[in-house]
Structure 1
Amino acid sequence: MNTVLHLSSSSGPGGAERIVCALAASLDRSRYRSIVGLFRPGWLKDQCESRGLTTYVLPHDGFMQWKWMRDCYRLIKRERVDVIQAHEFDAIVHGALVAKIARVPLVATIHGKHYFWEKRRRRWAYRWVSRSAQMVAVSEDLKRFVVARTGIAEDRIQVIYNGVDEAPAADQDQASQYKRDLGLPDDELVVGVVGNLYPVKGHTHLLDAIPLVLKDCPRTTFLLIGRGELEVPLKTKAKTLGIEERVRFLGLRHDVPKLLAVMDVFAMPSLSEGLSIALLEAMAAAKPVVVTRVGGNPELVVEGETGYLVPAGEAPPLAKAILALLGDPSRAALFGSRAKQLVEERFTLRLMADRYGALYQQAISRKPARAVVAA
């Protein structure tokens, strides 16, 4: 049995952090033993431990932390680690250095475009890590982005999509009960979005679209699920627009499946995405979706079949697409059914874990000659 050390420089909550935990917990346990190494305690540590994963915190507070690398090296030797799976920039670069010292292969996952590519040293660092690596992108869009920004050869990059658990659909009685729990009448229409309240998630554009939706569908409630730095400004904007009675800011929730069950439409106004876990979970829950045409979204959503793709940063097209689904329940149900089927065929957690497992086996088989990088 091979031991995989999953390294994360972020402790969540977020899509990348959820993949760290899900991947570590979902690998074939007859072939792989997962342990987790985090730069700091927090949400991710709690999630990993709740799933029975041995989790270590290796404190880290700056670039090129030699003490961290020493502690990580000792952990690798003590736990007899066979391959390192690193997530995000700091974990990737430090993980690459300690992997070379410890002579173990590295798999590194970049979850999105973020800001890493704006600094020359970050682009150089990824090129350095990838010289002896096979890179993997979580979407074709991210693959193209990495190639363009780093100059890495296209044939050095493959795609492994994120995956989610298959979701049992709530029946009508359950959905009605969940609505009552939220204080909503059965005939209320519900539009929801799941995502941290950061500028890149585009919530401000959804707020701009809401008055346009309410003109035609005045009995609609909008659920914003997530926490973040924009909570106060977004609440202020909702009040300024006169829609505060129709917008619920629910914060970080641990009952997202229940909240998805009450939604008639899942809307995601992001300005940038890697491969959205929130979107995949909404589709797995058989929800029709309206999302922006950014990142990996067009690779998940089939326009006019499982949902609608709209331009980022524009409220009128977003409102128009939401109204098209709210006004046609039969079409919305058909889109949701097709979305669920698509996830079950191509974007399950099992498929993702199996593909990473094959990648680990490939890396271990040629140890210590090469590292493997996933983006």
Structure 2
Amino acid sequence: MRRIRILHVAQAAGGVDRYIRMLLKYLDKDKFENILVCSQAFHKEDYEGLVSCFEQIEMTREIGKNDICAIKKVRKLIKKYVPDIVYAHSSKAGALARIADIGIKNYCIYNPHGWAFNMRCSDKKRKMYIVIEKIAALFCDKIICISDAEKESGLKICSEDKLHVIFNGVDIEAYEKSVHGKIKRDDLGIPDNAFVVGMVGRISSQKAPDVFIQMAKLVKLEISNAYFVIVGNGKQENEIRKYAKKNGLSDRLYITGWVDNPMNYVELFDVACLLSRWEGFGLVLPEYMMAGKPIVASRVDAIPSIIEDGENGLLVEVDDAAGASKAVLQIHKNNELREKLIVHGLQDVYDKFNVRRVAAEHGELFEKEIKRRI
């Protein structure tokens, strides 16, 4: 039988890039052919062996005149490759691809990877995002939600029958086969006996690096050998460094900048944090679990569906630096709690968050909908 041809459209890199790569790696290659149309933020070499065609066009995160040109180019590529399914990833690519696909006979799927209207923004902007999503929802057949919390939010823009939940997952097999310990604490100027608290994520408002560094200040008052690592880059980096310098943390804070394999740094952590202000899923949480790290995370959106407070991690309120510091100190002082969180986290990542399950559920959806159309 002819393989089902899927044309993926993606603008945002980062977590979306990692998600697509993991998905394509485990989708059955005998059943599915994959084509990627992406922005300039993606790298062709990352998709060798995963896609039959790799196309890059200029797509920007901001709404602007360039969008018209991007829509025309995406539409031209849809007509060129004649896919059975157009799969749009994230808000911007989701809007561009669905507009570009209007009137073309294929099956259209959209995955927001976190609703834009759940971001911390003005009421005016939030209402605008909801209106855009409501209109765009008319031009796709199915919307994939990466958590139950995402589905609940999705009811604001479309009926329940259009929403389909496929929980995120991580590539456990790749991590187990990888070489561990590539990065040493000494490489970062951190003593071997230090207590390291870290986070992975963009240095931007969503991931609350300001709360992380405020928490770091409080933790350092109690733990003399505490060090802190932020894996990522972003617009707020200078702000974070200024705060660290002002509060005597400069020699205790290491910011990696953009890295290809954040897990190399996660392995150095004694406690792993995700203190987000909003979060569609939080893929880094099962990654922390996979590395055997106890977690402190914010109680927001999808995070409580992944982290059960006191079982596989500790939950704190959003913007609560003091609460986050208390949770970190609790893990530092209580070895029994620490081991419990690690063991339960490892069990959960194997039972619930394997990317093979994500790929299998996608494959089932693709085949079901294509057969229904025949």
Residue 309 of structure 1: CA displacement? 0.5
The worse-fitting range, judged by mean Cα deviation, of 274-283 and 90-99 is 90-99
1:88 to 87, 90, 96: 90
Aligned to 2:141: 133
1:200-211 correspondence to structure 2 within 5 Å: 200-211=206-217
Aligned to 1:97: 99
1:292-314 CA distances to partner (integer Å, 9 max, x unpaired)?
Answer: 00121111111111110000101
Distance in 2 between residues matched to 1:365 and 1:70, nearest whole Å: 29
Residue 46 of structure 1: CA displacement? 4.8
Q: Could you tell me whether the CA contact under 8 Å between 2:87 and 2:109 is conserved in 1?
A: yes
Q: Could you tell me whether the CA contact under 8 Å between 2:36 and 2:51 is conserved in 1?
A: no
1:112-123 correspondence to structure 2 within 5 Å: 112-115=114-117, 118=125, 120=127, 122-123=129-130
Distance in 2 between residues matched to 1:265 and 1:321, nearest whole Å: 10
2:314 to 298, 302, 308: 308
- Equivalent position SS for 2:289: helix
Provide structure 2 residue ranges, at least 5 long, that are not aligned to the other structure: 120-124
Distance in 1 between residues matched to 2:252 and 2:278, nearest whole Å: 26
Aligned to 2:196: 190
Aligned to 1:320: 326
1:231-250 correspondence to structure 2 within 5 Å: 231-250=237-256
1:47-126 correspondence to structure 2 within 5 Å: 47-49=46-48, 54-60=53-59, 62=64, 65=67, 67-115=69-117, 118=125, 120=127, 122-126=129-133
Distance in 1 between residues matched to 2:68 and 2:256, nearest whole Å: 41
Letter of the structure 2 residue corresponding to residue 86 of structure 1 = A
1:98-132 CA distances to partner (integer Å, 9 max, x unpaired)?
Answer: 33322011110011133488355543343334346
Distance 1:135 1:55, change over 3 A: same
Q: Is 1:28 paired with 2:28?
A: yes
Q: Which has the higher contact order (CA 8 A, sep 6+)?
A: 1
Aligned to 1:15: 15
Moved over 6 A (4+): none
Residue 257 of structure 1: CA displacement? 2.0
The worse-fitting range, judged by mean Cα deviation, of 70-79 and 199-208 is 70-79
Residue 214 of structure 1: CA displacement? 1.5
Q: Could you tell me whether the CA contact under 8 Å between 2:166 and 2:361 is conserved in 1?
A: yes
When the two chains are superposed, the root-mean-square deviation of aligned CA atoms in Å is 2.6
Distance in 2 between residues matched to 1:187 and 1:133, nearest whole Å: 54
Distance in 1 between residues matched to 2:142 and 2:334, nearest whole Å: 46
Aligned to 1:42: 41
Distance in 2 between residues matched to 1:87 and 1:66, nearest whole Å: 18
- Equivalent position SS for 1:56: strand
Distance 1:220 1:53, change over 3 A: farther
Distance 1:123 1:184, change over 3 A: closer
Letter of the structure 1 residue corresponding to residue 241 of structure 2 = K
Distance 1:199 1:277, change over 3 A: same
Distance in 2 between residues matched to 1:70 and 1:232, nearest whole Å: 38
- Equivalent position SS for 2:102: helix
Residue 268 of structure 1: CA displacement? 1.4
Distance 1:75 1:175, change over 3 A: closer
Distance 1:333 1:177, change over 3 A: farther
1:235-274 CA distances to partner (integer Å, 9 max, x unpaired)?
Answer: 0011111111111111112242221112111011111111
Distance in 1 between residues matched to 2:218 and 2:195, nearest whole Å: 15
Q: Could you tell me whether the CA contact under 8 Å between 1:266 and 1:290 is conserved in 2?
A: yes
Distance 1:272 1:116, change over 3 A: closer
Residue 78 of structure 1: CA displacement? 3.3
Q: Is 1:165 paired with 2:164?
A: no
Aligned to 1:294: 300
Aligned to 1:267: 273
Q: Could you tell me whether the CA contact under 8 Å between 1:6 and 1:35 is conserved in 2?
A: yes
Distance in 1 between residues matched to 2:103 and 2:83, nearest whole Å: 13
1:313-370 CA distances to partner (integer Å, 9 max, x unpaired)?
Answer: 01111000001111223432331121121011111111111111112122322348xx
Q: Could you tell me whether the CA contact under 8 Å between 2:296 and 2:328 is conserved in 1?
A: yes
Distance in 2 between residues matched to 1:116 and 1:103, nearest whole Å: 31
Aligned to 1:142: 150
| TM-score normalised per structure 1 | 0.87
- Equivalent position SS for 1:84: strand
1:215 to 221, 229, 249: 221
Aligned to 1:342: 348
Letter of the structure 2 residue corresponding to residue 29 of structure 1 = K
| TM-score normalised per structure 2 | 0.88
Letter of the structure 2 residue corresponding to residue 168 of structure 1 = E
Q: Could you tell me whether the CA contact under 8 Å between 1:24 and 1:35 is conserved in 2?
A: no
Distance in 1 between residues matched to 2:343 and 2:287, nearest whole Å: 13
Distance in 2 between residues matched to 1:136 and 1:104, nearest whole Å: 17
Distance 1:184 1:34, change over 3 A: same
Aligned pairs, number:
361
Q: Percent identity?
A: 24
